[in-house]
Amino acid sequence: MEGSSSTSHFRSVSLPSRLTNPSCTKIETKINELKALGNLVVSGETIQSGLVGLAELYVCVEELVLSPKTQPAFLCHQNGTLVEDALEGSIGLLDLCSTIKDLLMLMRENVQILQSALRRKGGNPTVATHIATYLSFRKKTKKNVTKSLGTLKHLEKKMGSFLVRDVDCHVPMASKVLGDVYALTISQFKSLLVFVSTKTKPTNGVQLISKLVSKSTSEHAKRKTFINDMETIDLALTSLQKSSCNSDTKNVDVQMTLKRLQILDASLEGFEAGLDCVFRRLIQTRASLLNVVAC
């Protein structure tokens, strides 16, 4: 994998004591937990855990927004610009979350189609056509991911500017907390996008795949890189496509690929479920912010 959430930088959580709020304490704890998770080797499991934690984090954010102690700060800060900035940021995150959800749905559909073809045709030479179709889809996916990463970078820069105005002066604690939460949300989305866009590396066959997959977990943890589900499948399919074209497909190779596709399908399902939860929480947070404006 060529990137991980560890490459994203967060502002340290420093909460002014003058506006102490129980919700902020919860948020601070949850942010630190998710940051610690982000320091682990990025895998399907850690990404799913990160999305679940992110949804839980937004429950705390909603509590903060609705707190009687916090609402005045939202409305008074620079004539309500904090709420406006938070609302603008929520729209950007909602749009991006929806885009990623659609991308994952298409990916899962294509994975399942390939699974069906491999089960039906096995070592049949025509399976090479199905593999070629999937790999072609993967190339298109990477282009779409690159576009989304560009949007994410622009959103990150924009949010970084409007949620930390006058950070060294009298910015309410709510502004700093929202800034940290949004930064963490962007980092989680970035990790997911990088995970599903892993570039296919040149392969010399199954031996190379076995060599890559057999690297120790401790080595991965030190380098914070590893060969993820997407990459192993791309490598396996490239090898299987070549052997199929040469009528030299082995059933063990087909079964190994099917197993990895099943694992990937489960990961994508977990990503979709996690994003659905985050999406709903983002909508609820936006509704709560709008209620603050309406008060």
Residue 225's pLDDT band (cuts 50, 70, 90): very low
Which of 228 and 189 is assigned the larger pLDDT? Answer: 189
Q: Give me the pLDDT at residue 106, please.
A: 95
Look at residue 247 and tell me whether its pLDDT is greater than 80: no
Q: Give me the pLDDT at residue 42, please.
A: 79
What is the value of pTM for the model shown?
Answer: 0.78
Residue 19's pLDDT band (cuts 50, 70, 90): very low
pLDDT tens for 98-132 read: 999 999 999 999 999 999 988 887 667 678 888 99
**Residue pair 14/177 in contact by the 8 Å Cβ criterion:** no
Q: Give me the pLDDT at residue 193, please.
A: 93
Look at residue 243 and tell me whether its pLDDT is greater than 60: yes
Residue 68's pLDDT band (cuts 50, 70, 90): confident
Look at residue 52 and tell me whether its pLDDT is greater than 60: yes
Tell me how far apart the alpha carbons of residues 234 and 281 are, in angstroms, rounded to a whole number: 34
Average pLDDT over residues 124-144: 87
Average pLDDT over residues 154-179: 66
Residue 205's pLDDT band (cuts 50, 70, 90): very low
Look at residue 167 and tell me whether its pLDDT is greater than 50: no
∠ CA(106), CA(110), CA(114), 5° rounding? 170
* Structure tokens belonging to residue 294: 């309406």
Look at residue 208 and tell me whether its pLDDT is greater than 60: no
Look at residue 137 and tell me whether its pLDDT is greater than 50: yes
Residue 185 neighbours by CB under 8 Å, 6+ apart: 54, 93, 278
Residue 232's pLDDT band (cuts 50, 70, 90): confident
Which of 214 and 53 is assigned the larger pLDDT? Answer: 53
Residue 93 neighbours by CB under 8 Å, 6+ apart: 155, 182, 185, 186, 189, 282
CA atoms within 13 A on the CB side of 132: 9
Q: Give me the pLDDT at residue 148, please.
A: 93
Residue 133's pLDDT band (cuts 50, 70, 90): very high
Look at residue 15 and tell me whether its pLDDT is greater than 50: no
Nearest to 24 by CA among 15, 32, 37: 15
Which of 48 and 125 is assigned the larger pLDDT? Answer: 48
Tell me how far apart the alpha carbons of residues 22 and 60 are, in angstroms, rounded to a whole number: 9
Tell me how far apart the alpha carbons of residues 249 and 241 are, in angstroms, rounded to a whole number: 8
Tell me how far apart the alpha carbons of residues 273 and 48 are, in angstroms, rounded to a whole number: 9
As a whole number, the mean pLDDT across the chain is 77
